[in-house]
């Protein structure tokens, strides 16, 4: 069962919010005037309870509804901290249209310091979309985001980073959905205006009946302009990545017409690098991984990327690149498990 909690409560320093009467996001967006409203959706499944925090900031003038989501993976800290700072800085009088902000989508994962999955049901929110109304906590959260958030968005931005074991190069990405060219063009333009050097486009092959799995892929499937920022790595807070995310978000908000008091900034004068293909190297067997490579390194076809050993230090096999490209992300810690993504190598074709 999903319902909006009705009363006022002040939480500790990290999150404080005012509970509203039972209203949908759509009803809140219809309210007159310029305002900020912080609310939560309660999630209950059997004896397990959690919640989804949502902030809505509405300006005086009409404009797009720009949604920002952080913390779908609760161990990806730079996106969460960047959005916390944005919540402190953005004022309704500087907004045209509306912002919907989910500061931490996976509260239990964040609080329990759990990589990838929600500890309440051991499910990965990033592969649960569109979710289930009466499913497990993770499935209910995905359903809430799908029905209450994505469906009311004009632009949907999902912010991720490297989880506890992931070494990641900052990039911004979108799906190249060719049957909705205007949305794809807008996502590409927002990506370029973000100021992030690397822009990645993914192929889009979903049918309308296919499960989307990922939040911004669900938004793309619904015909909404959608994209994602990836910044941060190895389960720590890096101030440079927090600032990179914030600057990118402000740049996108200004370009979309949602933010009216700031000029676009760039991180550097380097040209945009577009990567429209990805080679995913999966872990072939359990073991200990050794590699001198890091995210952002360029690799060549047939290059040895590292090797796997057993617990006694015996070499089991080399990992070899199948393409020329750049390491977008990789496992950055020694333990590896069969089937995991060991490397994602981006390239242009």
What does 174-189 look like in DSSP terms, one character per residue?
EEE-TTSHHHHHHHHH
- What global pTM score does this model have? 0.91
Is the backbone peptide bond immediately before 130 cis, with ω within 30 degrees of 0? yes
Q: What is the pLDDT of residue 10?
A: 33
- pLDDT-derived band at 29, boundaries 50, 70, 90: very high
pLDDT of residue 267 exceeding 90: no
Q: 204-243 pLDDT, tens per residue? A: 999 989 999 999 999 999 999 999 999 999 999 999 999 9
Mean pLDDT of the chain: 92
Q: What is the pLDDT of residue 16?
A: 34
pLDDT of residue 11 exceeding 50: no
- pLDDT-derived band at 7, boundaries 50, 70, 90: very low
Q: What is the pLDDT of residue 9?
A: 33
DSSP 59: -
Neighbours of 228 (CB within 10 A): 26
The region of weakest confidence among 8-12, 111-115, 197-201, 296-300 is 8-12
Which run of H or E residues covers position 227? strand 225-230
C-beta separation of 195 from 137 below 8 A: no
C-beta separation of 234 from 332 below 8 A: yes
Helices 77-89 and 239-256: crossing angle in degrees, nearest 10, is 50
Q: What is the pLDDT of residue 244?
A: 97
The region of weakest confidence among 17-31, 224-238, 248-262 is 17-31
- pLDDT-derived band at 269, boundaries 50, 70, 90: low
- pLDDT-derived band at 112, boundaries 50, 70, 90: very high
Chain-centroid distance, C-alpha 174: 11
Q: Which residue has the tokens 């072939």?
A: 284
C-alpha dihedral sign at 332, 349, 186, 126: negative
Chain-centroid distance, C-alpha 301: 30
Straight-line distance from the first to the last Cα atom of the chain, in angstroms, rounded to the nearest whole number: 47
C-beta separation of 75 from 235 below 8 A: yes
pLDDT of residue 104 exceeding 90: yes
Per-residue tokens: 34: 């310029």
Neighbours of 267 (CB within 10 A): 16
- Report d(CA 91, CA 133) in Å as an integer: 33
Q: What is the pLDDT of residue 260?
A: 86
Q: What is the pLDDT of residue 69?
A: 98
Q: 50-100 pLDDT, tens per residue? A: 999 999 999 999 999 999 999 999 999 999 999 999 999 999 999 999 999
Overall average pLDDT of the 107-127 stretch: 97
- Report d(CA 13, CA 143) in Å as an integer: 28
């Amino acid at each position: 069962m999903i319902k909006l909690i009705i009363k006022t409560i002040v939480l500790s320093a990290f999150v404080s919010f005012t509970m509203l009467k039972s209203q949908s996001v759509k009803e809140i967006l219809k309210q007159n005037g310029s305002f900020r409203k912080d609310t939560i959706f309660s999630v209950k499944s059997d004896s397990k309870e959690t919640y989804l925090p949502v902030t809505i900031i509405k300006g005086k003038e009409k404009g797009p509804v720009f949604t920002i989501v952080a913390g779908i993976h609760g161990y990806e800290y730079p996106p969460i901290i960047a959005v916390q700072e944005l919540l402190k800085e953005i004022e309704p009088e500087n907004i045209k249209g509306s912002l919907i902000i989910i500061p931490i989508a996976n509260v239990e994962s964040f609080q329990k310091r759990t990589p990838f999955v929600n500890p309440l049901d051991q499910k990965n929110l990033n592969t649960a979309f569109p979710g289930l109304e009466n499913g497990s906590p993770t499935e209910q959260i995905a359903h809430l985001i799908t029905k209450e958030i994505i469906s009311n968005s004009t632009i949907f931005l999902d912010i991720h980073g490297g989880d506890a074991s992931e070494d990641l190069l900052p990039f911004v990405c979108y799906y190249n959905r060719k049957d909705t060219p205007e949305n794809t063009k807008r996502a590409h333009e927002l990506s370029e205006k973000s100021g992030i050097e690397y822009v990645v486009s993914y192929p889009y092959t979903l049918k309308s009946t296919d499960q989307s799995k990922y939040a911004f892929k669900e938004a793309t499937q619904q015909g909404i302009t959608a994209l994602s920022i990836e910044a941060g790595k190895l389960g720590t807070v890096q101030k440079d990545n927090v600032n990179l995310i914030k600057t990118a978000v402000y740049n996108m908000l200004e370009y979309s017409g949602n933010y009216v008091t700031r000029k676009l900034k760039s991180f550097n004068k380097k040209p945009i690098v577009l990567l429209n293909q990805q080679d995913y190297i999966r872990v072939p067997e359990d073991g200990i991984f050794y590699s001198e490579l890091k995210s952002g390194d360029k690799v060549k076809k047939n290059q040895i990327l590292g090797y796997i050993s057993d617990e006694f230090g015996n070499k089991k096999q080399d990992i070899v690149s199948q393409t020329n490209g750049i390491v977008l992300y990789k496992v950055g810690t020694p333990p590896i498990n069969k089937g995991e993504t060991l490397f994602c190598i981006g390239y242009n074709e």
